Amino acid sequence: MKKLLLILLCLPLIGFGQSQEIIWEENLDSAFNLASLSNKIIMIEFMAEWCPPCKRMEKETFSNDKIINKSNEFIFVKIDVDKHQDIANEYKRNAKKYGGIGIPNILFIDKDKNIVHQTVGFLNANQLTTVMDSVLKK
């Protein structure tokens, strides 16, 4: 509970000044708690360290200022499908080698666990910004 309170107190500070990176949540339960409290959409990136398009998104897309600035309008979660196959299977977002539809795979979910939008494959910063704007308008 103390960690959650600390995170909530820091939320207004995220995005002010020149943030240089996205703050990724790694615990899905914490992300849903934050979403309930903040009424934000959760953006989950299902990825793997061995995945070339995932590495490219990390290097090019998630380091882009447009995405970094827009990240404070969402709760970003990163799920490594090798380390968390149970979560990837639960959301049907696994890598093809595990019988899934492929990665990188981005899933937008509301606080009630309803899927708002989903994408599969590499997205550059402009493409992801367009998707994020669309999700915010829904």
Spatial separation of the C-alpha atoms in residues 117 and 7, rounded to whole Å: 26
- Within 10 A of 98 (CB to CB), how many other CB atoms are there? 13
Q: 91 by DSSP, 3-state: which?
A: coil
Active site residue 10: no
Among the listed residues 34, 54, 106, 107, the single catalytic one is 54
The sheet carrying 24-25 orders its strands as 24-25, 74-80, 41-47, 105-109, 115-120
Lookup result for tokens 């999700």: 135
Q: Which of 31, 35, 42, 51 is catalytic?
A: 51
Report yes or no: 47 and 95 within 8 Å, Cβ to Cβ: no
Type of residue numbered 23: I
Residues 6 or more apart in contact with residue 26 via CB below 8 angstroms: 77, 78
Q: Point out the residues that are catalytic.
A: 51, 54
